Amino acid sequence: MYLKKLNVRQYRNYKKVELAFHKQVNIFLGENAQGKTNILEAIFVLALAKSHRTSKDKELIGWGEEFARIQGEVARKTSPLDIELILSVKGKKGKINGLEQKKLSEYVGAANVVMFAPEDLNLVKGSPQVRRRFLDMELGQISRVYLHHLATYQKVLKQRNHLLKTLQFGKGSKEMLDILTDQMIVLAAEVTIRRYGFIKRLQKWAEQIHHDVSRGKEKLEICYLSAVDVSDEIDLSKIKEAFYQVYKEVKEREIQRGITLFGPHRDDLGFLINEKDVQTYGSQGQQRTTALALKLAEIELIYAEIGEYPILLLDDVLSELDDYRQSHLLQTIQGRVQTFVTTTNVSGIDEQTLNQSTIFYVSEGTISQEMER
């Protein structure tokens, strides 16, 4: 799929922008703090109804404005797609082909994007929260069922934590806790089995890509780390049983602490290169390659699941990669994946890519195809 047109209103430092894009490569060129990342973020938010760099939607609305609006025309193998997202202080609304979607989970994933930004190094080094966010965003855009289970899990978790706080002070009902625990187990199992399956599929691609980028020297493994043991042999009912045991064992401790101690909200991912933990032992370069392999794997995974390549957003990373990694990346996407690149300088981008691209000049929240003099 590719983005043909984009309309942005009152988003970050953009008052009003209307753009038509190149089918292959689009380069946003400009000095720092002009709005390059903002425009990439707008495309990301248009597809996923969430920003990659903040969870506070209010920050996305232009200062002093009541709302922001992003609209785009996407070309697909099937029918063309018109999507629109309106962000206001009251919340978000998504429209697909003019029809307002009752739930945001029905809007998310109509268009698919993969972003690779400097922050993605945090995927390996950062806190577990970063990796869970990655899981939820990426799996969420290819599985509505997952988004639905996840949202319900979070709702029940909140209720359960609230009750545990009450119980901690000797009030509230333990019967109610058992009811909520049973509800949560069903949802926790659904979330867990889907995350596990996603990581297994992603691993297949990532391992191959990492192998190539490391010139055959390294074997990358991704592990899903959960409160319960998950493996290929295990099914939904076994996972539920395992969660049941966990919550039975920690019940008194949870009441004492007044919080849910185990579950998908505490899960994590682990990365191994040649059987060594990348977080602990990996060099900067290995962490970078791991993050790159993950992102490239996502592109292939989305293609396998959806039958269309996603739109790729590269924020400030192209010139950061060494020649070998850059050419590997460009080879992967060559002609197949519409790509948006931000940079302060085109000299870091190879000739062949420049030849099949449109350059947009970004300056103080305006974008033009002509360089200002």
Please give the residue ranges that form the binding site for ligand ADP (CB under 6 A).
12-13, 30, 32-38, 59, 61-63
Cβ distance to Mg ion smaller for residue 22 or 36: 36
Give min distance, CB of 36 to ligand ADP, in A: 3
32 is in an annotated binding site: yes
Of Mg ion, ligand ADP, none, which one does residue 78 interact with (CB within 5 to 8 Å by kind)? none
Choose the stretch contacting Mg ion; rule: CB under 5 A; options: 33-41, 52-60, 85-93, 218-226.
33-41
Let me know if 40 is exposed, middle or buried by CB neighbors in 10 A (0-12, 13-18, 19+).
buried
Cβ distance to ligand ADP smaller for residue 136 or 315: 315
- Asked if 38 touches Mg ion (CB under 5 A), the answer is no
Cβ distance to ligand ADP smaller for residue 52 or 194: 52
Give min distance, CB of 320 to Mg ion, in A: 12
Of Mg ion, ligand ADP, none, which one does residue 62 interact with (CB within 5 to 8 Å by kind)? ligand ADP
**The one among 37, 112, 214, 332 contacting Mg ion by CB under 5 A:** 37
Give min distance, CB of 35 to ligand ADP, in A: 4
Of Mg ion, ligand ADP, none, which one does residue 32 interact with (CB within 5 to 8 Å by kind)? ligand ADP
State how far Cα 147 lies from the chain centre. Answer: 12
What is the rounded distance in angstroms from the CA atom of residue 340 to the CA atom of residue 315? 8
Cβ distance to Mg ion smaller for residue 32 or 237: 32
What is the rounded distance in angstroms from the CA atom of residue 269 to the CA atom of residue 202? 12
What is the rounded distance in angstroms from the CA atom of residue 169 to the CA atom of residue 216? 58
| Secondary structure class of 171 (helix, strand, coil) | coil
Of ligand ADP, Mg ion, none, which one does residue 328 interact with (CB within 5 to 8 Å by kind)? none
Here the tokens at position 328 are 């590997």
33 is in an annotated binding site: yes
258 is in an annotated binding site: no
Give min distance, CB of 18 to ligand ADP, in A: 18
348 is in an annotated binding site: no
Give min distance, CB of 22 to ligand ADP, in A: 20
What is the rounded distance in angstroms from the CA atom of residue 71 to the CA atom of residue 54? 20
What is the rounded distance in angstroms from the CA atom of residue 133 to the CA atom of residue 126? 11
Q: SS3 letters for 123-169?
A: HHHCCHHHHHHHHHHHHHHHCHHHHHHHHHHHHHHHHHHHHHHHHHC
Cβ distance to ligand ADP smaller for residue 36 or 240: 36
C-alpha to C-alpha distances, 174 to 167, 171, 220, nearest whole angstrom? 8, 9, 45
217 is in an annotated binding site: no
Residues 221, 270, 113, CA angle at the centre, nearest 5°? 80
- Asked if 343 touches Mg ion (CB under 5 A), the answer is no
What is the rounded distance in angstroms from the CA atom of residue 367 to the CA atom of residue 360? 6
What is the rounded distance in angstroms from the CA atom of residue 241 to the CA atom of residue 228? 10
Annotated binding site: 30-37
Q: Can you say which residues are annotated as belonging to the binding site for ATP?
A: 30-37
**Residues making contact with Mg ion (CB under 5 A):** 36-37
